[in-house]
Amino acid sequence: MSEYIPRLAEIVDIDIESPNTYLISLKLLDNENFSYKPGQFVMVSVFGLGECPISITSSPTRKTLQLCIRRAGKITNGIVDCRVGDVLGIRGPYGNGFPLERMKKNIIIAGGGSGFATLRSLVNYIVDRRGAFGDVAVAYGARTRQDLYFMQEYKSWQQAGIDVGITVDIGDESWKGDVGLVTALIDKFRLSAGSAAICGPPVMINAVAKKLMDKGFDHSDIYVSMERHMKCGVGKCEHCMIGPYHACQDGPVFSYDKVKSVL
């Protein structure tokens, strides 16, 4: 059977994360195993509209497959306009995911905006396998309080002994936390150099990586999840090329030294 034929998945739950972002829970209709790693992605089909790459937001340590979808274009709009019970197509998982076996103890996870969706998979994975990862800190920044995802989970991360820093670009009276850049949060963490996982806009990735290297992190221990336009997901269509690499197969997670020239 063709690699391009998707598996079918029913939407079992839709939750609102921000005014334009939704958390969609899926159940695969073939009831067969779907194993994945934090940092991998799937190609999601809305039949009649097309297909687009979406990173997996849930952790493989938990039962439900979840995708976090922001209204950004034709297909993402099509996905979030679906209702519970509607059927989508899923291909994958694709991509390399975060190299959990290679990541050193003491991990900083830094996300900016919707880039945090893929990192939530890693955070919850670490929460469920807490012993293996040493000190862990999460730094997450969004535009405003309303744009912050997964707010109901921060507490459970702290309870698992994870240092959680949250910041917004624009504060208001309802926000009592930090206002400013993600890099400022990193200054507050007391954590010796290990590995890092970053996802966000290129400016934010560069600023965070620079800050981490100043703190003694090696550029090859800083892992960046890259966003690219994709059509096939399997290294053929060439849309996602980053120099010699295909973000869909060689990535989307790259060590910073491999991609800093294109950021």
Quote the least distance from Cβ 225 to other proteins, whole Å: 14
Q: Which of 228, 255, 257, 260 binds other proteins (CB under 8 A)?
A: 228
Strand 65-70, strand 21-28: pairing: antiparallel
The DSSP bridge partners found for residue 88 are 9
Q: Which of 99, 134, 171, 235 binds other proteins (CB under 8 A)?
A: 235
For residues 70 and 86, give the distance between their C-alpha atoms in angstroms, rounded to a whole number.
18
What would the two tokens of residue 66 be? 């979840």
For residues 187 and 185, give the distance between their C-alpha atoms in angstroms, rounded to a whole number.
5
Q: Which of 16, 29, 84, 203 binds other proteins (CB under 8 A)?
A: 29
- Residue 193 in the binding site for other proteins (CB under 8 A): no
For residues 238 and 16, give the distance between their C-alpha atoms in angstroms, rounded to a whole number.
34
Peptide bond into 244 cis (omega under 30): no
- Residue 130 in the binding site for other proteins (CB under 8 A): no
Quote the least distance from Cβ 173 to other proteins, whole Å: 29
- Residue 87 in the binding site for other proteins (CB under 8 A): yes
Name residues contacting other proteins, limited to 131-160 (CB under 8 A): none
For residues 67 and 98, give the distance between their C-alpha atoms in angstroms, rounded to a whole number.
17
- Residue 129 in the binding site for other proteins (CB under 8 A): no
Q: What share of the chain is helix, strand, coil (3-state, %, to 5)?
A: 25, 30, 40
Q: With respect to other proteins, which residue has the nearer C-beta, 131 or 243?
A: 243
- Residue 203 in the binding site for other proteins (CB under 8 A): no
For residues 87 and 75, give the distance between their C-alpha atoms in angstroms, rounded to a whole number.
14
Interface map 47-86 toward other proteins (x if CB under 8 A) = xxxxxx-------------------xxxxx--------xx
For residues 122 and 222, give the distance between their C-alpha atoms in angstroms, rounded to a whole number.
14
Q: Which of 138, 232, 248, 253 binds other proteins (CB under 8 A)?
A: 232
Query: Where does this chain bind other proteins (CB under 8 A)?
Result: 1-5, 8, 29, 45, 47-52, 72-76, 85-87, 89, 227-229, 231-232, 234-244, 262
